[in-house]
Amino acid sequence: MRLFDPWPVFFKREWKRNWPFLVGFAITGTLITKLSLGLSEEEAKKSKFVQAHKR
């Protein structure tokens, strides 16, 4: 006798509710990563934000 696996049902239901958040989070993360990796050392030294958060 096979046991009922609730995970596929759970993920299907939750995906319908949470896909806008997850897609937005992925897009935002991609943009932040792309902009951060594109920052040169000279630009980082001049940035007030980087200097304020430098340890």
pTM, two decimal places: 0.58
Dihedral (Cα; 32, 37, 43, 49), 10-degree rounding: 40
d(CA 46, CA 42): 6
55: Cα separation from own chain's centroid? 24
Read off the amino acid at residue 42.
E
Amino acid at 17: R
pLDDT 10s digits, 11-50: 999 999 999 999 999 999 999 999 888 888 888 888 888 8
Check residue 20 and give its pLDDT: 96
Q: Would you state the pLDDT for residue 24?
A: 97
Q: What are phi and psi of 47, to 5 degrees?
A: -75, 130
